[in-house]
Amino acid sequence: MSSADRDAEQPGGDSGERRPAPRDQPSSTTAKEAALARALERAVERLRAAPLDDLQPTLPRAER
Amino acid sequence: MSASLLSLPAMQTALRRRALSSVELVERALALASSAHEWELGAFVELTPEAALAQARAADDELRAGRARGPLHGLPLAVKDVIDVGGVATRLGTPGAGHRVPSADADVVRLARAAGAIPIGKTATHELAYGMTTPAVANPRDRTRTTGGSSGGSAAAVAAGLAPLALGTDTNGSVRCPAALCGVVGLKPTFGRVPRGGVAPLAWSQDVVGPLAENVAGCAALHAALTERPALADLRRADELCVGADRELCERAAAPEVGRSVLAALDALAADGARVVEVKLPDQALAGAASYVTIVAEAHRAWGSRLEHGEAFSADIAAALRVGAQVSADAYLRAAQARTLLRRQLAELFAASGVDALAMPTVPVVAAERDAARVLLDGGLRPVESAHARFTALASLCGGPALSVPCGVDADGLPIGLQLLGRPDGEAALLRVGAAVERGRGGAPLA
């Protein structure tokens, strides 16, 4: 029995009507993950382009 | 007469005058929610009739004894299925991960019950509340359309008249987006003011629990219960309120019908006595990027170990959790800096302009087709998820309150929401402005 099957059998604690748990759909996981990774990259690029350095106290450069 | 034919004020009046008992009201709500037509909507994943009717009988006994708990006394409440209800399975919209049967209510359910509200069931959520579409639920205004998410089940339950009140959660807009697309009122409270015990986490630095209701007064009453504060005495005063609006943003960054509807609502507000002034809002794209990085990292922190231990998530959520492991410390810290910068800019804007609320669309588009991955925006096709979060991320990142209130419909009758952002702990002003927007369109729920 998969963990999903086991969990779906847990008692609901009431006698009410309920829906079956959603099933995992086989899909292009790699493509989805790649798309999300690209979205993350774009967000990080946007942050790198923002004027955030003003918030960061900088140490004076050591004199040579 | 079905429960859906009664407005929230009519329910409250009927209960107060004993024209209707809480048992009758809850029975009607349960019968309607479990009817074939409404069950196919997908708003509820489970109904809890035995517990609900037992509480309704107790509520009626109290009313007969002259003990009314307030405006929520005896009213049905729908609860998003990431929030624990004692003795009822919490399933989080996952295929198996995180399923459990809690022994106790979440704090917010306990507080809502104490105020007299009666949980009647659990509503569908986008898996883990990690997404802004809620694919399992149809929009009651047009069943071919999305509800938005992640609290799509709660918004649909209220919009369909299955429950007058609902609890949702909001990490990046998950109360406000479905409220806007379904034509109901939704409030994201100030971060940290509503207890989160018994609520499944997504992103610890942004998660809040918020109320959804058919009208602003219902939202205000449920928010008061959740924060253990007295309900607002007067929602009608709009003459002393000042609202900031970025008209150029409304025209440029939203679909034309959405922008026009929001601007028309602001004109109506001004006619109602509020002062509406022009402002320039902080960089919402920066807020979106910072919020995205924050949530992706924190969701992995919350759920990544369960994924590694083989618990069952959908393929899409598993992919999102794996990507969360890629967020570097540098990126997370830049997101934190962006939050600090934007909070400072918002505080300066409120101080300089003296406004009580900043107005903008809640969502830049109306509800898309349920299976649409992209929507037309900015003259091109944009991903639905990022379009839905375009205007909601700022309040989520910065922590202040935000209210979505219906302000109109498009040519096809699809709802449009106006969003109001407030100062931290500025919910009272938002609710007053929201009530004025409601009056501006006649005060009736969207039909």
Confidence tier at A57 by pLDDT (50, 70, 90): low
Could you tell me which residues are beta bridge partners of residue B121? Answer: B47, B78
pLDDT at A18: 60
Could you tell me which residues are beta bridge partners of residue B359? Answer: B245, B420
> Contacts of residue A12 in chain B, CB cutoff 8 Å?
46, 88-89, 101
What's the pLDDT tens digit per position in B129-168? 999 999 999 999 999 999 999 999 999 999 999 999 999 9
Query: For the whole prediction, is pTM greater than 0.90?
Result: yes
> Contacts of residue B51 in chain A, CB cutoff 8 Å?
14
Q: Does B22 touch chain A (CB under 8 A)?
A: no
Closest CB to B88 among A13, A43, A46: A13
C-alpha closest to that of B225 among B316, B87, B65, B113: B113
Task: Answer whether residue B395 shows pLDDT above 60.
Answer: yes
- C-alpha B402 chain-centroid distance: 10
pLDDT at A14: 42
Query: Residue B2 catalytic?
Result: no
Contact in structure between B444 and B409 (CB atoms under 8 Å): no
Closest CB to A11 among B101, B322, B337: B101
Q: Does B436 touch chain A (CB under 8 A)?
A: no
According to DSSP, residue B405 is labeled E
Query: Residue B34 catalytic?
Result: no
Least confident of A11-25, B112-126, B236-250, B419-433: A11-25
Q: Which amino acid is at B97?
A: A
Confidence tier at A9 by pLDDT (50, 70, 90): very low
Give which of B284, B286, B327 to mutate to test A binding, by max A Cβ within 10 Å: B286
Please pick, among B4, B21, B22, B80, the residue that the annotation labels catalytic. Answer: B80
Residues contacting residue B404 through CB under 8 Å, at least 6 positions apart: B175, B176, B177, B179, B180, B185, B186, B187, B362, B417, B418, B419, B420
Query: Residue B150 catalytic?
Result: yes
Contact in structure between B244 and B277 (CB atoms under 8 Å): yes
Task: Answer whether residue A7 shows pLDDT above 50.
Answer: no
Closest CB to A23 among B51, B95, B289: B95
366-395 of B, contacting A, C-beta below 8 A: 386
d(CA B77, CA B122): 9
Give the percent of chain A with pLDDT over 70: 41
Residues contacting residue B367 through CB under 8 Å, at least 6 positions apart: B139, B141, B142, B145, B146, B147, B148, B181, B182, B414, B415
Give which of B314, B317, B345, B390 to mutate to test A binding, by max A Cβ within 10 Å: B314
Contact in structure between A24 and A3 (CB atoms under 8 Å): no
d(CA B302, CA B205): 12
Contact in structure between B167 and B390 (CB atoms under 8 Å): no
Judged by CB atoms closer than 8 Å, whether chains meet at B320 and A36 is answered as yes
pLDDT at A58: 63
Task: Answer whether residue A62 shows pLDDT above 70.
Answer: no
The ipTM, to two decimals, is 0.89
Residues contacting residue A32 through CB under 8 Å, at least 6 positions apart: B315, B316, B319
Give the percent of chain B with pLDDT over 90: 90
pLDDT at B1: 42
Helix, strand, coil percent content, chain A, rounded in steps of 5:
45, 0, 50
Interface residues on A facing B, Cβ-Cβ cutoff 8 A: 2-8, 10-19, 21-27, 29, 32-33, 36-37, 39-40, 42-44, 46-48, 50-52, 54-56
Residues contacting residue A63 through CB under 8 Å, at least 6 positions apart: none
